[in-house]
C-alpha cells in the first residue's frame, strides 16, 4: 500500500537526504584517499592510529554509499525489510563516524609525534635511499622548511661534502645551492612543526566533517523510521 499525505513529503525528503548521503560517501572516499596519499609521503606506514584513520574513512564512505543505495531501493519500493535494514546500518555508520571524530581529536597530538619520529628516520636514510631523497626534498620544497626542528639537524647527517644541507632547503632551489650556504639563503624553520601542524589541523577538519555528516544521518534515520512506521501501518490495514 502506497504511503499517503504527510508521508509523501517525508519520502521526498528522504530521497533528498539519500542523494546527500551519496555525495557525502564520495566525499569521504576522496578525503580518505587524499589523506592516505599524504600520510604515505610523510609518515612511515604501519598500524598506528594516525595511519589507520584514512582506511577507516574510506571504508565508512564505501559502506555509506551502499547503504544509501539500499535506502533508495527500499523507499522506492516501500519495502519494510529494506527500510528497517537501512535505518539499522545508517545508525551503525553514524556511530562509527562519531568514533572516528573522537579518535581524530584524541590522536591529533599522536600524529605530530609520529611525524617527528618518522621524519628524523627519513633524514637518517637520506644519504643512502633515493626514494627517501625524493620524499624529503618534496616536503622541504613544498612546505619551505629544512630539517626536523631546524636546518642544523642536517649537521648530524653524513652528506657530501660535509656541512652541506639538501638543495631543497634553499629559498631559491638550484643545483648545489646547499653547499657552502648562507643562513639567509635557506629556510631555517623545521619541517616537523610546519608539516606536523598542518597534518594535525587537517585531522581536526576531518573530525568536524564526520560530526556534520553524522548530524545529517540522524535526520535520515528519523525519516526512515517514520516511513517504516507508515509502511507497517499500511500492512496492518491490509
Instruction: Quickly list DSSP for 1-41.
Output: ----THHHHHHHHHHHHHHHHHHHHHHHHHHHHHHHHHHHH
Residue 5: its pLDDT value, please?
54
Nearest to 185 by CA among 159, 167, 160: 167
Q: Report d(CA 222, CA 78) in Å as an integer.
A: 16
Number of Cβ atoms within 10 Å of the Cβ of 161:
8
How confident is the model at residue 164, as a pLDDT? 92
Higher-confidence residue of 232 and 82: namely 82
The secondary structure of 194-234, three-state, reads: HHHHHHHHHHHHHHHHHHHHHHHHHHHHHHHHHHHHHHHHH
Residue 171 pLDDT exceeds 90: yes
Return the top range by mean pLDDT from 8-22, 33-47, 176-190.
176-190
Q: Is the Cβ–Cβ distance between 82 and 74 less than 8 Å?
A: yes
pLDDT at 25: 85
pLDDT surpassing 60 at residue 81: yes
**More confidently predicted of 191 and 109:** 191
Q: At what angle do helices 49-77 and 80-106 cross, to 10 degrees?
A: 160
Task: Please give the backbone phi and psi of residue 225, each rounded to the nearest 5 degrees, phi first.
Answer: -65, -40
3 state DSSP class of 126: helix
Amino acid at each position: 500500500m502506497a504511503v499517503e499525505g504527510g508521508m509523501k513529503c517525508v519520502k521526498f525528503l528522504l530521497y533528498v537526504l539519500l542523494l546527500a548521503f551519496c555525495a557525502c560517501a564520495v566525499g569521504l572516499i576522496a578525503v580518505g584517499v587524499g589523506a592516505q596519499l599524504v600520510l604515505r609521503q610523510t609518515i612511515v606506514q604501519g598500524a598506528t592510529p594516525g595511519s589507520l584513520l584514512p582506511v577507516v574513512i574510506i571504508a565508512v564512505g564505501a559502506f555509506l554509499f551502499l547503504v544509501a543505495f539500499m535506502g533508495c531501493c527500499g523507499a522506492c519500493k516501500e519495502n519494510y525489510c529494506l527500510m528497517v535494514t537501512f535505518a539499522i546500518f545508517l545508525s551503525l555508520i553514524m556511530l562509527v563516524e562519531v568514533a572516528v571524530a573522537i579518535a581524530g581529536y584524541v590522536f591529533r597530538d599522536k600524529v605530530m609525534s609520529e611525524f617527528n619520529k618518522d621524519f628524523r628516520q627519513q633524514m637518517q636514510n637520506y644519504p643512502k635511499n633515493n626514494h627517501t631523497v625524493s620524499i624529503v626534498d618534496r616536503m622541504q620544497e613544498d612546505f619551505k622548511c629544512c630539517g626536523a626542528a631546524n636546518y642544523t639537524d642536517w649537521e648530524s647527517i653524513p652528506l657530501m661534502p660535509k656541512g652541506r644541507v639538501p638543495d631543497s632547503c634553499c629559498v631559491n632551489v638550484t643545483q648545489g645551492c646547499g653547499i657552502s650556504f648562507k643562513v639567509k639563503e635557506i629556510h631555517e624553520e623545521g619541517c616537523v612543526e610546519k608539516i606536523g601542524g598542518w597534518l594535525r589541523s587537517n585531522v581536526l577538519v576531518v573530525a568536524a566533517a564526520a560530526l556534520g555528516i553524522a548530524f545529517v544521518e540522524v535526520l535520515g534515520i528519523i525519516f526512515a523510521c517514520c516511513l517504516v512506521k507508515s509502511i507497517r501501518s499500511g500492512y496492518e490495514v491490509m
